[in-house]
Structure 1
Amino acid sequence: MKKKLIIKIGTSTLTAGTNRISFAVIESLARQIVVLKKEYDIVIVSSGAIATARQFVEIKGYNKRVDSKQAMAAIGQTKLMEIYDTIFSTFGLNIAQILMTYRDFENATAKENTRNTIKKLWEADYIPVVNENDTVSIEEIVLGDNDKLSALVAVIIEADLLILVSDIDGIFTANPHLHADARLIEKVNDLNNIKQCIEEKESMLGTGGMSSKIHAADICMNHGVEMWIVNGQRENYIIKALANEIPFTKFYSK
């Protein structure tokens, strides 16, 4: 039986530091998934709908109004899935879209339906691509970047591993941009031990940054799901992390 792997990829990774979705980033992900599919059933949790919309339209008040951002998400989500479908299909990979809100995780029937849908998609050789339904839910727009969503999905399907793809190697002893002697913390089994490190990073990364990743780790650790933070700017970052060939932070229960 294959292991279950969740890959969460955020807007900062998908745009590669620009204001546009990077086709090269999605192609790199697809190349890795071709290899990973031999051993893993995979779910992708992908942000990037609003960033994708910016390439096609500019809505008045976008930077200030939540409803403008929701409209951007509605436009961008279809475009984002088109990009995934176009690139993944060239590698023989099939994708299916699942849009969720946090209310779905509060309802036992909705959770069971989600679990069954993902299982059926795997059986049909389709990769579920999950995003928050930003048009009806504003939590990702206001508070985060799908880190919590990916953790909740990992819990309901009892994933073996959740990988948060970030633009940093993981948790450091201090802000690595400000302290040359900052060291990567490779293993964490008690979040209380890294509170000071989180606070240092929070001011740098802000909403949807390291604080939301730690919240995701808390959810995972409380439900026995291992979670890693891996740097998506490294070549073949998932495959190399699985082979312990690059540095990253691993969160696991005692």
Structure 2
Amino acid sequence: MTDTAEQTASAAERAASPQGDAGALREPVLSARRVIVKVGSSSVSGENAGQIEPLVDALAALHARGVEVVLVSSGAIATAIPFLELHGRPTDLATQQAAAAVGQNVLMWRYQTSLDRYDILAGQVLLTAGDLENATPRGNAQRAMERLLGLRILPIVNENDTVATHEIRFGDNDRLAALVAELVDADLLVLLSDVDALYTRPPQEPGAERIDVVAADDDLSTVELGDIGAAGVGTGGAGTKIQAAKFAAGSGTPVILTSTANVARALAGEVVGTWFDAAPRAVRD
């Protein structure tokens, strides 16, 4: 058996692993001092806008324990759709940029209104791909994030869709979340979606098995994703989440991939979703 085949087989075997084995890996959740949580457009916009409040409840519980929390939130364009009387997500760049300008304002207002219940102040951080690819703006972004966290402010990060173009953009906020986790040296990344975990194939199909744990060297190329986790109003899906999770885990940050409904349980260390075990961290200057 080749190395790739062995890695793929090991991931499939862990799909049915005992919860106790997976639970032992969740200990870093309770010891994490800096956590990134990423939520997608479909979870916080339209008829699901009501999920903002329980999401904030979970983040506030972390904040109350002294944990530094960063929220990476999609949803600006999707939030603007009813306000601009659009029939769906715009396809042309100019309307996308205009929708982002309107929707980001509404989205931040909704988050801050919910955070007010806990006397937590949010700080908006809008980034482009160039901000994290070039040394000077990357350093500026890192300094700003560190200062916000030091002031006990909850940064809410999104791609700056108003100025981003198709050529210079992250493409999805899963990738952005993984890069932010690396930027601030996070202890944990939680990627939220519409699906409760990663499966060997779309979960509605016969024979689909939940994958509880993914080791740092597991090959997931044979996992059949279909259209799971792609709700139509955002730009991500299961494929982008796997790529982001593997990147973050490879950089030394463990990842939980689960549904938005499970966020409180995930952050409490319960065995929900799929755990991506982290590779050993490189020595940093």
Q: For residue 253 of structure 1, what is the amino acid of its counterpart?
A: A
Identity %: 36
Matched with 1:4 is 34
Map Cα deviations across residues 24-63 of structure 1 (whole Å, 9 max, x no partner). 3111122112211114100000011011112311359963
How many pairs does the alignment contain? 244
Q: In 1, Cα distance between the equivalents of 2:142 and 2:115?
A: 23
Map Cα deviations across residues 58-83 of structure 1 (whole Å, 9 max, x no partner). 35996331211111111111111111
Aligned residues of 1:53 and 1:75 also touching (Cα < 8 A)? yes
Asked which structure has the greater CA Rg, the reply is 2
Q: In 1, Cα distance between the equivalents of 2:62 and 2:88?
A: 42
Is 1:252 matched up with 2:277? Answer: yes
Matched with 1:196 is 222
Ranges in structure 2 where 5+ consecutive residues have no aligned partner: 1-30, 280-285
Matched with 2:19 is none
Matched with 2:243 is 215
Name whichever of 181-190 and 93-102 sits farther off: 181-190
Q: For residue 249 of structure 1, what is the amino acid of its counterpart?
A: T
Task: Report 1:52-63 matches (<5 A).
Answer: 52-58=79-85, 63=90
Q: In 2, Cα distance between the equivalents of 1:204 and 1:125?
A: 36
The Cα RMSD (Å) is 2.5
Secondary structure of 1:240's counterpart equals helix
Matched with 1:224 is 252
Ranges in structure 1 where 5+ consecutive residues have no aligned partner: none
Secondary structure of 1:90's counterpart equals helix
Structure 2 residue corresponding to 1:182, chosen from 189, 208, 215: 208
CA deviation after TM superposition for structure 1 residue 123, in Å:
2.0
Structure 2 residue corresponding to 1:71, chosen from 87, 98, 101: 98
Secondary structure of 1:193's counterpart equals coil
Alpha carbons of 1:124 and 1:203: their partners in 2 closer, same or farther (altered >3 Å)?
Answer: closer
- With normalisation by structure 2, the TM-score equals 0.78
Secondary structure of 2:196's counterpart equals coil
- With normalisation by structure 1, the TM-score equals 0.87
Q: In 1, Cα distance between the equivalents of 2:131 and 2:36?
A: 18
Matched with 1:28 is 54
Q: In 1, Cα distance between the equivalents of 2:109 and 2:160?
A: 17
Q: In 1, Cα distance between the equivalents of 2:268 and 2:109?
A: 31
Q: For residue 225 of structure 2, what is the amino acid of its counterpart?
A: K
Is 1:97 matched up with 2:127? Answer: no
Q: In 2, Cα distance between the equivalents of 1:50 and 1:191?
A: 36
Task: Report 1:144-155 matches (<5 A).
Answer: 144-155=171-182
